[in-house]
Amino acid sequence: MAYIESLIPGIKMFIKGRGCIIALTSGAILAIYVYVLESLSTHYTVLALTITSTISAILMDNFILVNTLRGLYVSGAPPSFIRRVLLCYGLLISMTISLPLIITFKCWFKLVTPILTFIVAYTILTFMYKRLSREGIML
């Protein structure tokens, strides 16, 4: 229970931020592309576009992310707690982008899309956290 409750800041970041709107809109538009243009080259192009969409969604929430990380740091959150929150947020963003695409994509693209977007999201978030810690922007 305590583990699930520790994810609350990550869920709040996702709900209150604008990143989720970007993620949902991008996912839906890309899903329509896939549905209308069924060629394999379109699938690859859309897969590449999910990466930029994921990055855009996270950058849109930059202010909320920095604010939340600072709040957690001041309150005495250990690095493992902060990483857990980022993991939760990254998972929610990647699933929001991927879900519409999973419906319209065919074959192995269904599997690759959520994994790829999650890896991109968590990598960006980890870099952001490390940069904040290194440059002392936390406080």
Residues that bind another protein (CB under 8 A): 1-2, 5-6, 8-9, 12-13, 16-17, 64, 67-68, 70-81, 136, 138-139
Q: Which is nearer to another protein, 41 or 75 (CB)?
A: 75
The two tokens of residue 33 are: 């592309």
- For residue 107, the SS3 value is coil
As measured in angstroms, the least distance from the Cβ of 28 to another protein is: 25
As measured in angstroms, the least distance from the Cβ of 64 to another protein is: 6
Cα–Cα distance for residue pair 33/117, rounded to 1 Å: 18
The two tokens of residue 95 are: 């699933």
- For residue 76, the SS3 value is coil
| Nearest Cα residue to 99 out of 37, 30, 43 | 30
Residue the block writes with tokens 């920095």: 66
What residues contact residue 109 under an 8 Å CB cut-off, 6+ apart? 43, 47, 101
As measured in angstroms, the least distance from the Cβ of 4 to another protein is: 11
As measured in angstroms, the least distance from the Cβ of 62 to another protein is: 13
Q: Which is nearer to another protein, 40 or 137 (CB)?
A: 137
Q: Which is nearer to another protein, 39 or 75 (CB)?
A: 75
Q: Which is nearer to another protein, 82 or 120 (CB)?
A: 82
